[in-house]
Amino acid sequence: MALWLPLGLFILWRYYAHKTNVGELTPERQAVYSMAMSFEKDPERLNTLANAFKEAGLFEQARALRNRAKLPTLPANVQLARTAALKAALNSTDPASIRGLALVFESQGAGASAGILRDYAQGLEQSLAIAPVQMTPHNPPAPHPDDLQRPPEAQAPATQAGQMMEAPVPLEAIPAPVPPMPHGEGFGGAPPVGGDFGVGTVIPSQYPHPTPPPPPPPDDGSY
């Protein structure tokens, strides 16, 4: 009920308005008007814009701009009444009444408050369009993603090494490490027969024999 009184006053104000728009409110003019009504606070600039809109035949926008220029000079009781009306509208659940009050605020120069009311009305309309959802044991809420256990295919890494870590190979299938072949005996001389270097029995034929040195010349007693 608190919203219907301002809405009725706005309808009466529109009915007894001297002039209505005869010019075209182009998108460019609408953008300039919206920015001025929401952010401009300089009375001189607002009156200059009001004159320009009046010359273009946009009398409603011109009156709103002039009313915005007068906002700093409004009595305290008027400002308190507007604040109370704005709070009451933000506690309402009737989008139509809220949009009507937004028109009242805009016509009086309070463009920022009108924008807040329109956004709130739009949010109400969207929430009312969503069908309610009844939560039952057969329709539980979706678990949080952090609470879900990863499937097996997501747990195994993509690399072969990672897959081996995820699925260990039995010990009997892992070959024993082969130590490096020793240097020295077995390479600088004849390899020991049946020697064991940690890789089983070493077969001498597996390694090349060193070439023996040539025999010394015969001793004929000469030096």
pLDDT of 192 reads 52
Asked if residue 161 has pLDDT above 60, the reply is: no
* Section 48-58 average pLDDT: 93
Q: Give CA separation, 42 vs 71, 108, 164, in Å.
A: 10, 16, 73
pLDDT of 173 reads 54
pLDDT of 195 reads 47
Torsion sign over Cα 12, 16, 18, 19: positive
As a residue count, the chain comes to: 223
Asked if residue 101 has pLDDT above 70, the reply is: yes
Nearest to 67 by CA among 30, 111, 123: 111
Burial class (CB in 10 A: 0-12, 13-18, 19+), 210: exposed
Among 9-13, 168-172, 190-194, which stretch is predicted with the lowest mean pLDDT? 190-194
Confidence of residue 22 (pLDDT cuts 50, 70, 90): confident
* Section 21-37 average pLDDT: 89
* Residue 6 vs residue 17, higher pLDDT: 6
The model's pLDDT over 31-44, given as tens digits with 9 standing for 90+, comes to 999 999 999 999 99
pLDDT of 129 reads 84
Nearest to 2 by CA among 101, 115, 76, 123: 101
* Section 68-81 average pLDDT: 92
* Section 83-102 average pLDDT: 92
Hey, which residues does 139 pair with through a beta bridge? 136
Confidence of residue 186 (pLDDT cuts 50, 70, 90): very low
Question: How far is the C-alpha of 87 from the C-alpha of 9, rounded, in Å?
Answer: 18
Torsion sign over Cα 91, 96, 97, 98: positive
The model's pLDDT over 117-155, given as tens digits with 9 standing for 90+, comes to 999 999 999 988 887 767 666 666 677 776 666 665 555
For residue 173, give the 3-state DSSP assignment: helix
Question: How far is the C-alpha of 125 from the C-alpha of 95, rounded, in Å?
Answer: 7
Question: How far is the C-alpha of 135 from the C-alpha of 189, rounded, in Å?
Answer: 88
Q: What is the dihedral of CA 53, 56, 61, 62, to 10 degrees?
A: 50
In the chain, count of helices (H) and strands (E)? 9, 0
* Residue 192 vs residue 144, higher pLDDT: 144
Residue 89 is encoded by which pair of tokens? 């509208």
Output the pTM of the full model.
Answer: 0.50
